[in-house]
Amino acid sequence: LLNNVELLPPDALFNIKSRLAKDSRPVKVDLGIGAYRDDTGKPWVLPSVRKAEKLIQQSTDYNHEYLSIGGLGALTQGASRVLLGDQSTALKENRVVSVQSLSGTGALHMAATFLAKVGHDKLIYLSDPTWANHKAIFEMVGFKTATYPYWDPATKSLDLQGYVSAIKSAPQGSIFVLHACAHNPTGLDPDHDQWTSILDAIVEKDHIVIFDSAYQGFASGDLDRDAFAVRLGLEKLSDASPVIICQSFAKNVGMYGERAGCFHVVFPRQDQSVDTEKVKAAVTSQLAKITRSELSNPPAYGAKIVATVLNTPELTNQWHSDMVTMSSRIIKMRHELRDHLVKLNTPGNWDHIVGQTGMFSYTGLSAEMVQRLEKEHAVYMVSSGRASIAGLNSSNVEYVAKAINEVVNH
């Protein structure tokens, strides 16, 4: 049975971590995996999370019981409110079904499994480039994936024309995965006008949208600002199509290993002939079947933490300022890296580093330069040139700039 099993290469991203752990050089810098670090280079437990954990553990009903199959109601309700906003018409009109998922990856997997189950055999369109796991998740359940143009390497900006024409030439009713904000890996988001053009083209072709929302509040420090695309999408798409949203709390609440997230389906504004309640019940039952067969029920601890943060006003305020702490430190590091590169007269223009948003910078460094950074300077990043800016701090940013300067020059 096992003798002919194909040996697969290690995961490119997690393998960076293993190589770095084995590296015995005294100075090494991890710009690989997208996980926030504080200015001392350490993982940061958000103060709002510490307080939530205390509240949970002091509570008289503290336990490790199973959650229901759909997850913790206080999480899914709080999560949909954060995502869609207090004024959301979809929430007011009761058009949203939300279930808990194993963070963003689990939510995307649920989207893939659900769409495969309800018979959607269309192509899944992913941005070029995109987060490597997007392709893996959809292909794992049997979907074929295609790409739409996104990053223009010549200008280091959005290829809007290519993007919109790919939307227009895709078969009617295709599925498009859109990054809600802080595009991974490029850190490049469409501006408001560009989002309008993109979403209008999607409406014209009746495509189905899956928003991947992994960085709300983490990108700009402002939850509403980072939800712009999702909310505009709902406004524009909801006349005809359901919208799927995959929400992660890994980055914005720092719940990386706790796998807290939600999967949301926003139903279209139906005409009188459709019994939305009946359709919602059917969809909910299918989602429950997926969770029951794959996880039985979702993990509780991280869900309780996030729910406590979202539903306790004092902690919600603290969380808002925690997100500002993270996003402003990252923005500061973007500026320092750019400024050091300019000061060193590093060939090229480095302004894109400060123009990009969220965890990453798509630096424009070649795979060969990235390899040399690792080999000669112990600076680790993804071979595409994606650097996790959260790995920079006041003690290593100049060192990294000098290393980049050296590989660009020689």
Residues at the interface with ligand LMR (CB under 6 A): 13, 33-34, 131, 133, 184
Beta bridge partners of 30: 380
Is 131 labeled as catalytic in the residue annotation? yes
Residue 6 CB, shortest distance to ligand LMR, in Å, is 23
Residue 132 CB, shortest distance to ligand LMR, in Å, is 7
Q: Which of 102, 98, 107 is nearest to 73 (CA)?
A: 98
- CA gap 288, 110 in Å, rounded: 10
Is 212 labeled as catalytic in the residue annotation? yes
CA angle, corner 326, sides to 324 and 329, nearest 5?
100
Q: Which of 51, 236, 251, 304 is catalytic?
A: 251
Residue 319 CB, shortest distance to ligand LMR, in Å, is 20
167 and 148 Cβ atoms separated by less than 8 Å: yes
CB nearer ligand LMR, residue 167 or residue 382: 382
CB nearer ligand LMR, residue 129 or residue 149: 129
CB nearer ligand LMR, residue 33 or residue 279: 33
**For residue 51, what are the CA distances in angstroms to 37, 48, 74, 103?**
19, 5, 17, 21
Is 191 labeled as catalytic in the residue annotation? no
Residue 112 CB, shortest distance to ligand LMR, in Å, is 16
Q: Which of 30, 44, 131, 350 is catalytic?
A: 131
- CA gap 15, 1 in Å, rounded: 28
CB nearer ligand LMR, residue 71 or residue 358: 358
Continuous segment of H or E residues that includes residue 148: strand 145-149
Residue 342 CB, shortest distance to ligand LMR, in Å, is 27
Which distant-in-sequence residues (6+ apart) come within 8 Å of 23 by Cβ? 378
Which residue's CB comes closest to ligand LMR?
A: 34
CB nearer ligand LMR, residue 131 or residue 151: 131
366-403 per-residue burial string, b: 16 or more CB within 10 A, e: under 16:
eeebbebbbeebbbbbbebbbbbbbbbbeebbbbbbeb
Q: Which of 30, 159, 212, 226 is catalytic?
A: 212
Active-site residues, by number, are: 131, 212, 251
